[in-house]
Amino acid sequence: MEFVTYEQEGFIGVVTINRPKALNALNTEVLELLNKVVDAVDLEKTRALILTGAGAKSFVAGADISEMSLLSKAEGENFGKIGNDVFRKIETFPIPVIAAVNGFALGGGCELSLSCDIRICSENALFGQPEVGLGITPGFGGTQRLARVVGIGKAKEMIYTASNIKAEEAYRIGLVNKVCSADELLDEAKKIAKKIVRNAPIAVRASKKAINDGISLDMDNAIVIEEKLFGSCFETEDQKNGMKAFLEKRKVEGFTNK
């Protein structure tokens, strides 16, 4: 069985973590496959990715506890590195990545969703960082990314208490942008992706880079990052065509990614 699958639908790629028997828990094999699948995405023809989990119950129920329980220190470090590398690859992936969270997003699952640009979830979703109850800290960026998304106070509460939160609470605190029924989840993610892929791809990519690179800088330096990326758009055909279409009071006829 292929633990990570990929489907291309027009400009949209759908990556599915497919290990439902273990609620899509992340073992070394899944992480390595995820890395390979992401590396293989053709950026010429793909403008947005959706990341989801197989089955009705779970996005990702965390790192694989059975595998982790047997790791030596060196193996633990290696496991952590494989995970951190692929999570960072997703976070800095040139095109937007939408997490469609279809159930449990615990530990490494919550952290994986946090590596994505946008999260939406089904009504049965459950988010949490249960690590301190297992004697470890969040290890795939949870101590850093959760606080950046929901604020330091809420992140600390979730991490210190190891309490899970339901979909509505995740929406209330801004962890997800939308809650919908399980049946509609993938379609809702595709609707967002379709809106993204209609826009000028180079400008979308530059916006992602500007937000990601600027967020941890002071405003004086952050704004310089924006200036450079803004300037780079003026070398593109899409900028010329987009503005020309506006001035001629017509819709742009499809951006070319050039």
Site of interaction with ligand DAK (CB under 6 A): 22-23, 25, 61-66, 68, 76, 79-80, 83, 104, 106-108, 130-131, 134, 136, 139-140
**Residue recorded with tokens 């979830």:** 121
**Residue recorded with tokens 């069985």:** 1
How far apart, in whole angstroms, are the C-alpha atoms of residue 39 and residue 7? 14
Question: Minimum distance between the CB of residue 128 and ligand DAK, rounded to whole angstroms?
Answer: 8
Our CB check for ligand DAK shows the closer of 53 and 108 to be 108
Our CB check for ligand DAK shows the closer of 66 and 72 to be 66
Judge whether 188 counts as a catalytic residue: no
Our CB check for ligand DAK shows the closer of 106 and 121 to be 106
DSSP, res 133? G
Q: Answer for the pair 59, 109: CB distance below 8 angstroms, yes or no.
A: yes
Query: What separation in angstroms does the CA of 132 have from each of 30, 143, 144?
Result: 23, 12, 15
Question: Minimum distance between the CB of residue 251 and ligand DAK, rounded to whole angstroms?
Answer: 46
Our CB check for ligand DAK shows the closer of 77 and 235 to be 77
> How many Cβ atoms from other residues are within 10 Å of residue 1's Cβ?
8
Query: Residue ranges of the alpha helices (H) in the chain?
Result: 28-40, 65-69, 73-91, 108-115, 142-150, 152-161, 167-172, 185-197, 201-214, 219-233, 237-247
Catalytic residue among 131, 188, 227, 237: 131
Catalytic residue among 77, 91, 111, 157: 111
Amino acid 100 reads: A
How far apart, in whole angstroms, are the C-alpha atoms of residue 153 and residue 25? 28
Judge whether 2 counts as a catalytic residue: no
Residues annotated catalytic, as ranges = 111, 131
